[in-house]
C-alpha cells in the first residue's frame, strides 16, 4: 500500500517524539529530581503512534499507568506532559496527578490511571455515549497484558459485543505483567483469542511495525464507525526500560528477571530503527532529512524540560483545588 510522505513523516516524528521524551527522563529519575513514579514507554512507540494516527481528534482514548506515549500520540502538549511529570502547576493535571494521571480533553485523551484495567470500563462508557448520540466517535481502550487477569475486561467485552459499540480494545502485550512473564500467568498466550467467545473480531499485530499497527487500526476504526464494532487488537511489543523507572535494579539488587538474550533480540526489532530503514529503502526519506527531524524533536524535548523545571509547583494551600470531594 502506498502512503503519503506527509503520513510517513508524521508516523516517524511521533515515534521519535515519544522516544526522545522518555529517554530525557532517565537521568532526572535516577537523580531523584523527578519524584513521581514514571513507567516509561520506550520500545512500544509503534503501538500508540499507529493507533492514534488512524483516529480523528474528536475520537476518545483511555490510557494506563504507562501512557506518556498515548498522550503524545493523540496530540497532547509535551510541555504539559513534562510539567505534570515534574508535578508542576502548568501540567495537564495541574501537578496533582503526576506521570500516571494524564488528560487532554481537547485532543480526545480522556485520561489515564494506575489501576490495572481501571480505564477499560470508562472507555466502554464513552463508546456507549457515542452510540446513543450517534456522533460517529470511536473510543479506544489501551491496556496491558496484565489487565487480562481482571474481570472488568471480560464484562466490558460482553457488553460492547451485546450493544455493538464503537470501541477498539487494544492490548499492548509486552509479555510481562510487572515482573511476571506471561507464560507463568496464562495457559493460552494468544491474548487476542479471549475476545472470540464474545463474537468480537480479533487480530494479533506486530506491535513493533508502525505501518502494520496503522493499517490494523484504520480497518478496525472504520468498522467501528460503520456500526460493526467492537474490535480487539493484540499488539505484540516489548518495553526496553524497567517496569517503573529506567530499570528494575534497586540499591544494587538486580530485579529484572528478563533474560539478557531476550532483551537483545527485541532491541534488534526496535520499531524506530525498523521504520527508518523502511523510509530510506522505499525512498520516503533519507539520512539528512531524518537527522533534521531528530534535531528538531530534540530541541522540542529540551524546551519542554526547561518549561517543566522552571514552572511553579502547586501552592500548598490549594492542593485540593480541582479535586472532587
- The reported pLDDT for the residue numbered 180 is 84
Burial of 320 (0-12, 13-18, 19+ CB in 10 A): exposed
Please check the confidence at residue 179 and state whether its pLDDT lies above 90.
Answer: no
Task: Count other C-beta atoms under 10 Å from residue 53's C-beta.
Answer: 18
pLDDT tens for residues 244-301?
A: 999 876 555 666 788 889 999 999 999 999 999 999 999 999 999 999 999 999 999 9
Residue among 118, 145, 116, 138 nearest 47 (CA): 145
- Indicate whether 280 belongs to any domain: yes
* Residue range 51-68: mean pLDDT, rounded: 98
**Choice among 33-47, 69-83, 182-196 with the minimum mean pLDDT:** 182-196
- Indicate whether 320 belongs to any domain: no
pLDDT tens for residues 282-296?
A: 999 999 999 999 999
- The reported pLDDT for the residue numbered 185 is 83
What residues contact 143, with CB distance under 8 A and at least 6 apart?
Answer: 64, 116, 117, 119, 120, 153, 169, 170, 171, 172
- The reported pLDDT for the residue numbered 250 is 59
- The reported pLDDT for the residue numbered 260 is 86
- The reported pLDDT for the residue numbered 322 is 77
Task: State how many domains the chain has.
Answer: 1
- Indicate whether 268 belongs to any domain: yes
pLDDT tens for residues 113-172?
A: 999 999 999 999 999 999 999 999 999 999 999 999 999 999 999 999 999 999 999 999
d(CA 51, CA 74): 9
* Residue range 27-56: mean pLDDT, rounded: 97
Task: Count other C-beta atoms under 10 Å from residue 289's C-beta.
Answer: 15
Sign of the dihedral through C-alpha 13, 18, 19, 23:
positive
- Indicate whether 131 belongs to any domain: yes
Please check the confidence at residue 219 and state whether its pLDDT lies above 90.
Answer: yes
- Indicate whether 78 belongs to any domain: yes
Please check the confidence at residue 213 and state whether its pLDDT lies above 70.
Answer: yes
- Indicate whether 316 belongs to any domain: no
Provide the mean pLDDT of the chain. Answer: 94
Instruction: Give the residue carrying C-alpha cell 525512498.
Output: 283
d(CA 258, CA 256): 6
Residue ranges making up the domain that contains 222: 5-309
DSSP string, 160-200: HHHHT--EEEEEEE-SEETTEEGGGT-S---GGGGGGGGT-
| 45 neighbors 69 (Cβ within 8 angstroms) | yes
Q: What is the CATH number of the domain that holds 107?
A: 3.40.50.970
- Indicate whether 35 belongs to any domain: yes
* Residue range 23-37: mean pLDDT, rounded: 96
* Residue range 228-235: mean pLDDT, rounded: 97
pTM score, whole prediction: 0.95
Residue 111: phi and psi, rounded to 5, are 135, 155
**Choice among 94-103, 179-188, 268-277, 289-298 with the minimum mean pLDDT:** 179-188
- Indicate whether 318 belongs to any domain: no
| 31 neighbors 44 (Cβ within 8 angstroms) | no
b/e 124-153 (16+ beta carbons within 10 angstroms → b): bbbbbebbeeeeebbbbbbbbbbbbebebb
- The reported pLDDT for the residue numbered 321 is 82
pLDDT tens for residues 312-323?
A: 999 888 878 877
d(CA 69, CA 44): 8
SS (H, E, C) 130-157: HHHHCCCCCEEEEEEHHHHHCHHHHHHH
Instruction: Give the residue carrying C-alpha cell 538486580.
Output: 254
Percent of the chain with pLDDT over 90: 86
Amino acid at each position: 500500500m502506498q502512503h503519503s510522505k506527509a503520513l510517513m513523516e508524521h508516523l516517524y516524528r511521533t515515534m521519535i517524539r515519544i522516544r526522545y521524551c522518555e529517554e530525557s527522563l532517565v537521568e532526572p529519575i535516577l537523580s531523584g529530581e523527578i519524584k513521581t513514579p514514571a513507567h516509561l514507554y520506550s520500545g512500544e512507540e509503534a503501538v500508540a503512534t499507529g493507533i492514534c494516527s488512524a483516529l480523528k481528534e474528536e475520537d476518545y482514548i483511555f490510557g494506563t499507568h504507562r501512557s506518556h506515549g498515548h498522550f503524545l500520540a493523540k496530540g497532547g502538549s509535551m510541555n504539559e506532559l513534562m510539567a505534570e511529570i515534574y508535578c508542576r502547576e502548568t501540567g495537564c493535571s495541574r501537578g496533582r496527578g503526576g506521570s500516571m494521571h494524564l488528560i487532554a480533553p481537547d485532543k480526545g485523551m480522556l485520561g489515564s490511571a494506575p489501576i490495572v484495567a481501571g480505564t477499560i470500563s470508562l472507555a466502554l462508557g464513552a463508546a456507549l455515549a457515542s452510540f446513543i448520540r450517534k456522533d460517529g466517535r470511536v473510543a479506544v481502550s489501551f491496556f496491558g497484558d496484565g489487565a487480562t487477569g481482571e474481570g472488568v475486561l471480560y464484562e466490558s467485552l460482553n457488553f460492547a459485543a451485546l450493544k455493538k459499540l464503537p470501541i477498539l480494545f487494544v492490548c499492548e502485550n509486552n509479555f510481562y505483567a510487572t515482573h511476571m512473564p506471561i507464560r507463568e500467568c496464562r495457559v493460552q498466550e494468544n491474548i487476542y483469542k479471549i475476545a472470540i467467545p464474545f463474537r468480537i473480531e480479533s487480530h494479533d499485530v506486530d506491535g513493533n511495525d508502525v505501518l502494520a499497527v496503522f493499517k490494523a487500526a484504520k480497518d478496525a476504526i472504520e468498522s467501528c464507525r460503520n456500526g460493526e464494532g467492537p474490535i480487539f487488537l493484540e499488539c505484540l511489543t516489548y518495553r526496553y526500560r524497567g517496569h517503573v523507572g529506567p530499570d528494575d535494579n534497586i540499591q544494587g539488587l538486580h530485579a529484572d528477571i528478563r533474560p539478557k538474550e531476550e532483551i537483545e533480540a527485541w532491541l534488534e526489532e526496535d520499531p524506530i530503527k525498523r521504520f527508518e530503514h523502511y523510509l530510506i529503502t522505499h525512498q520516503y526519506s533519507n539520512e539528512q532529512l531524518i537527522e533534521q527531524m531528530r534535531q528538531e524533536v530534540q530541541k522540542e524535548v529540551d524546551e519542554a524540560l526547561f518549561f517543566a523545571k522552571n514552572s511553579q509547583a502547586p501552592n500548598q494551600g490549594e492542593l485540593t483545588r480541582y479535586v472532587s470531594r
